[in-house]
Amino acid sequence: MTINFNKYENGLVPAIIQDANTKTVLMLGFMNQEALDITNSTKQVTFFSRSKNRLWTKGEESGNFLQLIDVKVDCDQDTLLISAKPIGPTCHTGADTCWNETNMSNFGFLTELESIITQRKNDASESDSYVASLFKSGINKMAQKVGEEAVEVVIEAKDNNDDLFLNESADLLFHYLILLQAKGFTLRDVESILKARNK
C-alpha cells in the first residue's frame, strides 16, 4: 500500500474512521507514517494530534478505543479509510460519532420503511391506513397475512414471471416487517442472530 504523506506540507493525511459492522462514519483524524505504523502494529487506531502536536491513540484517556479491522487508501493515495470496531462512544462528547449520529445498522430504504410502519402504527391521524388496520386486526391476522404472502412467493417462484415473483417477494417482506414490529422487534434483531450464527 503506497500512501503519499508528502502531498501536504505537514506530512499528514486524512483518516476517515468507519465502523466495520454498521458502516457508519465515526470520526475524522489525521495520520503520519508513524501513526499508521503504530496502528498496524498495535491494532489500536492511532493518530497524529494537531492540537497536542504528538501521536495520540484514540481511547488512551477515555478507554474508548478503536480496534483496527482494515486500512484502505483512496485512488489519489492521500486519504485513508480505516475500518474499526469502536469500544464505547467515539466522540469526546459521549456521542457515538463526531456528527452526533447513533451508530446502528442501517438497511437503507428498509430502515426508512420500518420508520413509516412505526409512524402509521402510532399516529392517530393514520388510523385509516392499511398498516394501522393490520395492527388493529391483531397478531393472528398479521401472522396469517405473512403466511399467505409466503405461499404466493413459493407459487410465483415455480413460474417464469419475474415481475410477479419480485412483487410477491416485496409483499412478503413488507408484511414481515409489520409482524416483526407487532412482536416488538426490528430487522436489527434478526441481523444480530444472523451475525451470531456466522461465527
Q: What is the mean pLDDT of residues 157-164?
A: 96
Q: How many CB atoms within 10 Å of residue 46?
A: 26
- Tens digits of residue pLDDT in 23-82: 999 999 999 999 999 999 999 999 999 999 999 999 999 999 999 999 999 999 999 999
Q: What is the pLDDT of residue 199?
A: 75
pLDDT at 104 over 80: yes
Q: Do domains 13-86 and 109-197 have the same CATH topology?
A: no
Q: What is the mean pLDDT of residues 99-106?
A: 91
Burial of 102 (0-12, 13-18, 19+ CB in 10 A): exposed
Phi/psi zone of residue 59: left (φ > 0), alpha (ψ -120 to 50 degrees), beta?
left
Architecture of domain 13-86: Roll (3.10)
CA torsion angle for 117, 122, 125, 129 (degrees, to 10)?
Answer: 40
The full set of domain ranges for the chain reads 13-86, 109-197
pLDDT at 198 over 90: no
Q: Which class would CATH give 109-197?
A: mainly alpha
CA distance 149 to 156: 11
pLDDT at 99 over 90: yes
Q: Which runs of E-coded beta strand occur in the chain?
A: 13-19, 25-31, 46-49, 54-57, 66-73, 80-86
CA neighbor of 4 nearest in space, from 32, 38, 40:
32
pLDDT at 9 over 80: no
Q: What is the pLDDT of residue 106?
A: 87
Query: How far is C-alpha 94 from the geometric centre of its chain's CA atoms?
Result: 19
Q: What is the mean pLDDT of residues 83-98?
A: 96
